[in-house]
Structure 1
Amino acid sequence: MLDTRATRATRATPRLHLAYGAKKADKPLMSRRQDDRAILSPLVADLSRRFSDFDARWRRQIDPQTLRSLRRKLDEAGIRLASSACTPAELDRARSIAAEMMVAARLLEEGCEIEHEVQTPTGKHVDFRARKDGAVLCVHVKRAPHSTLHDAPIVIPNAWRALESIERAMVIALSVTKNLRGRALQTALTEANEFALQASVGDEITFRDAESRTAARLRVIAPSTGRAIELVADLSSSFDDHVPRFQSTLRKAFAQFMPRSENLIVVCGSTGGIEAFATALLGSQIERWDKRPRMGELVAYGRGGDGFWAGSMRNQSRLASYWALALDSGPLLFLRERGTRTSTARAVQMARDVFA
């Protein structure tokens, strides 16, 4: 049985919005390349500082030559990011380095002894094999498919915010292509209110202007953890594109698993990619008539059979994590099931201790 609950890191982690978008924008959107450099540069600088400050201690936990190699990678990433001539390919390289170094630093800070690039019997490689208190965990680090979703700097019109006063635990995505006014807006809001009161996950409604052109669309995308409607910007086309890309990334990591060992997949990307990653891993949000609804609800919701962890597929994979490539972020750990073997239980507990 899937344990779809995710464990957040106890360290400082910025609030993460749904992948469909943020509720408001406080500043204009920068170009994609400038935005990524502005986020990555402080992260790489912080990682470089930590590798320097703890060099003497970490040499007892990892081969000194490997540690020097990791520090050279960080230096390389820092130089690339500082250059005004940084190319998209170099930016991608910096992302990959930052992802790998974030995981290495976390393992070392938590007192793990680690090996880097450990070969499997099939000739593949595990990024890190970590040991602590008798537990062994093989960690596979993957950068999220480029370009990952970002929190959308889209302002939802205040008139539509009235829907958030409806006491119904649903997340509804709004797409506005034309600003309706006057009677047309009031008619649309009345229909939207009726829709929000009775719609199910996956339902949508389109609003048109006087010339029958699409002006707005509402789509129910998931149950909410709150008590009222949560309205978010609709980036569904981008979201839908990224789910299969994340599944491809997960499959690549799975192909590199170390046999007869516990393996953890860590995917690093932007904060906006978390919901797409969760959907790729656990499956789409659907109505579940085989489950008891939450108190006060008529319908139960759950995950469909299209996830990477669906059913008994890939049952060797029990641990996965998503980690935003940003300073002071923390990993979000997903646990599929509890193992019965002692070695499995130790490795799962180690993953919880280090990545949650």
Structure 2
Amino acid sequence: YGSSGRPLQYRFGLEPGSKNDAMIRNYIEKHLRPPYSQNKLLIPRNLLQNRQSYTFVASITNFLDETSLDSTTVYAHEDSVPLVTIEGPKTIVVQTTQSFRMRGNAQMPSCLSSVDTALEFTWELISTSPESILSNSFILDPVTRNTRSLFVKAESLLPGVNYTFQLTAAMSYNTTFFASALTVVSCKFGGLLATINGGNRAISVFDTISMDATNSIDFDGSQASSSFGLQFQWSCKTTSGGVCFEDFEGIIPSANGILTIPPGRLVVGTYVFTVTISKEPGPRRSTAFSTLYVLPNNQSHVSIDSLVALKINSKDRIVLNGKIETGCTSVWIQTEGDNVLQYPGLLSTPLNMTSIAFLPNTLYP
């Protein structure tokens, strides 16, 4: 709960493996005293041997006895080199569709004069896990790779792979004096978005029913490393929860991306179709619904394309695309929410077009 609540307990330690780790550990133990409210610990420089790495560990415990651990590695150098850090957590979690920046900082030794403090920065990809030809083909951004802030463009990392990056800061007057910091970028598999083309609609009992979910989206895009494609599972219920029809032929369970039901199978009524898409690893899942109104007479086929996005930004121009039969006229109406269609100034298209476009900041969350 930090400074705004009950006090935290801080403890420090050193991982074994350094030549003089026992001496440093004794120093740490002498300076840690109950109630462990000291949140900083100064390690004297003379305890650190040159050209040795030391991994220090810190733990924080709250009044519920919940503990969080973190560690940092210090490399002791006999020369005056900068202290290099990379902002943020040690492991940065992203999705392959994200672009992002990693920013580093360098703190200069106080003993250096101002004319000696110029630095040269270099980013490198040190390793990938699991290692593969594709993951090792990552190319550092040529514009920012020699700055303190590295830009990583979308679709350049593979999902399911951890990338270890290193930032090195070298003294310009002598590049053999340098220091480095590491960070791990974990690229996670993106989500799925199930869609059914056309959304809710009305048809005649004489029409063939076609439910098409092939425009569903895997947000990992073409770089998804999984060899498995999307899996589709369809179901159909009446509004009272009953079965839509006696499916002796197994039409619904055998359907893949497109569910096709011959004319006459559904009687007049209202039906709710559901499709659940899934994909490994996970599996990841997403579900979409479409309400179908079956009417006794022939109907003009009208549908609205699904929005291919998990979220819509109200500050963006929003477009809805409709589809109608050739020779038919159309008009848009609104069934829920504040009636924005009564204000033509909020639209960039007339209401009698098959598509309708809303100006930015017209629709609100």
TM over 0.5: no
Which structure dedicates a bigger proportion of its chain to strand? 2
Q: What's the TM-score, normalizing by structure 2? A: 0.19
Larger Rg: 2
Which structure dedicates a bigger proportion of its chain to helix? 1
